[in-house]
Amino acid sequence: MDNKLLFKLLQTPSVSGNELAIQKMLINELKTIDDEMITHHSYNTIHVVNKDAKVKVMLLAHIDEIGLIIEKIEDNGICKLTNVGGIKPQMYMGQHVWVVKNTLNGAYEYIPGVIGYPANYNSANISVNDLNLDLGCKSKEEALKLVQIGDVVIHKDNVQELANHLLASRALDDKIGVFICCEVLKQVKEKSTNGVYFVATVGEETTGRGSYFASDMAEPTCAIAIDVGSSTDVKYKEKFTHDVTLGHGPILTIASHANQKILELLKESAKRLGIPVQYSVEVSKTYTDFDTIYKRNKGIPSELISIPLRYMHSATEVCSLDDIEYIIKLLVDFICNLDENVKFNLLEV
């Protein structure tokens, strides 16, 4: 497994609604792999191998990340912010950040800043409205020479490998999913004639538009969303209904909208390869692209595979590189062994 692309994904900003730069980068990275590449005005991309195959597996992983956006610039040059997706305001207090200035040609530049706040604030009760973006400017006019309303803000790059084959970074959610799909795409092309339609979806953290449009851009046999799931191996006050540990394999979803045949086939692949698996029981929504895609095109047989993750939606999300390798192997085996005659409708006789 070559981690160069993973690091490149993590170091390229892609706050929801501003995915153009990273999608252009990914298109360039996969141009020698793709048999076909489909784009959409939303910034969705679909990377296809074996496009004429009877079996077409759609893989979805969202390429957008959470962040902040400049909503107002005050007379003293301080910028006020609002959230893009489910950010945790306390995670930004006293932190170095980048303002990302995007252009319509896919280029971007960074403006350095810090997030300041009054010393008497209780971090437990702080809201996004309490955060101040300080660029060092003395006036609104000076600030407007550097930034404008609508520019987005992210934590500075902080990709770091830790002990025991762990990786820490912002935006592992869900760029590790994107990386997994890229690796699966490459390997399936070498090993199988089955088709893979990898959708690097946009807007998952905000509108869900990427997964909604994806099914109209291809007619898959089945679909698997790859996203992150909360690890429970570091205990705090959270109450989780499942037990998940980093390095112990992918999380397979048991849910009312998960296709049971896909789940069975994934279990068979895991057993065949000796890959450990973990489970998450979801009664209704998973708050991922899975919730949308299974309802499209009169219903697409779908499943969600989650990557165990600590400290979700923070600047220091942590995952295991072992789990990434497990999921790549699992998906490649599942796709390569998928027969065109498989029945996802268990009511058929």
> Which residues are annotated as catalytic?
204
Report whether 157 contacts 165 (CB < 8 A).
no
Residue 106 DSSP code: S
Q: Which of 207, 194, 227 is nearest to 303 (CA)?
A: 227
Question: What's the token pair of residue 295?
Answer: 């309802």
What's the CA gap between 325 and 249, in Å, rounded?
9
Question: What's the token pair of residue 157?
Answer: 């790059």
Neighbouring CB atoms inside 10 A of 238's CB total: 8
Report whether 176 contacts 8 (CB < 8 A).
no
Report whether 162 contacts 142 (CB < 8 A).
no
Report whether 278 contacts 249 (CB < 8 A).
yes
Residue that is written with structure tokens 């220091």 in the block: 316
- Reported in sequence order, the residue ranges of the chain that DSSP labels E, i.e. its strands, are 36-39, 45-49, 56-62, 67-73, 79-84, 96-102, 108-116, 132-134, 152-155, 160-162, 166-169, 195-201, 222-230, 251-255, 278-282, 302-309, 317-320
Q: Which of 29, 336, 326, 339 is nearest to 187 (CA)?
A: 336
What's the CA gap between 305 and 329, in Å, rounded?
13
Report whether 126 contacts 93 (CB < 8 A).
yes
Neighbouring CB atoms inside 10 A of 75's CB total: 9
